[in-house]
């Protein structure tokens, strides 16, 4: 009778151990998934770190010294976020400002290609200096010159120039979308950090009062 009871006792322990192993395995899988999500988020949002958020600040911060150190750390992260925000807005404005000019250049190339198909000459005006223009007659529509920046101009076949501008416009619009996504994500991190700073500060004040008592 004792052996039978012992037998059932050991079986019960084995079942709990198996259940525990399953729970530990599941926990590791969930942790790996979370790490993978964090890594993906960093890749998507240009490495912008996720803001710190404390679920239970009363139990996580028990000493005033810990609260002060954490407050300093979060404030430093907040400063970095604001610098990132300024940089992203600057990039966004710079790239967005280039798109209308690129589209105008592309429309002009389309017009030249159409004129080439129709045949004949094109009479136009070009800028010589401020408020000074001259008249020119264009006979050859096979090549165009594009500004590449830094006072550099390069001649391209007209079809190749059109393709280059189309790619540049497409890449610029894609970059604009990515920057907007990063800016919105960064706003969320800034908001979370502002909330965390407020909560940590208020908690540090409470701890300081308790310490004085």
pLDDT tens track for 34-68: 554 555 544 457 688 898 888 777 777 767 677 88
In a domain? residue 27: no
In a domain? residue 24: no
Residue-level pLDDT at 126: 81
Residue-level pLDDT at 71: 87
In a domain? residue 102: yes
Nearest to 179 by CA among 81, 90, 83: 90
CB atoms within 10 A of CB 173: 14
Contacts of 85 (CB under 8 A, 6+ apart): 183, 186, 187, 190
In a domain? residue 52: yes
- CATH number for the domain spanning 100: value is 1.10.287.370
In a domain? residue 29: no
Residue-level pLDDT at 120: 78
Domain coverage including residue 118: 45-212
Backbone angles phi, psi at 178, to 5 degrees: -65, -40
Residue-level pLDDT at 8: 36
Structural domains counted in the chain: 1
Instruction: Give dist(CA 151, CA 103) in Å, integer.
Output: 20
In a domain? residue 115: yes
In a domain? residue 85: yes
In a domain? residue 32: no
């Amino acid at each position: 009778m004792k052996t039978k009871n012992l037998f059932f006792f050991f079986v019960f322990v084995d079942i709990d151990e198996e259940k525990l192993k399953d729970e530990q395995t599941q926990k590791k899988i969930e942790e790996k998934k979370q790490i993978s999500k964090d890594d993906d988020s960093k890749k998507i949002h240009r490495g912008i770190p996720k803001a710190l958020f404390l679920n239970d600040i009363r139990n996580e911060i028990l000493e005033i010294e810990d609260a002060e150190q954490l407050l300093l750390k979060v404030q430093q992260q907040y400063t970095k976020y604001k610098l990132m925000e300024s940089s992203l807005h600057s990039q966004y404005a710079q790239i967005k400002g280039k798109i209308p000019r690129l589209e105008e250049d592309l429309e002009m190339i389309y017009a030249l290609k159409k004129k080439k198909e129709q045949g004949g000459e094109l009479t136009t005006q070009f800028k010589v200096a401020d408020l000074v223009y001259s008249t020119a007659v264009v006979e050859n529509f096979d090549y165009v010159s594009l500004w590449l920046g830094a006072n550099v101009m390069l001649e391209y076949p007209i079809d190749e120039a059109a393709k280059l501008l189309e790619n540049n416009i497409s890449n610029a619009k894609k970059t604009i979308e990515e920057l907007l996504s990063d800016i919105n994500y960064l706003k969320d991190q800034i908001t979370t950090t502002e909330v965390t700073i407020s909560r940590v500060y208020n908690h540090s004040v409470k701890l300081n009062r308790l310490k004085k008592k």
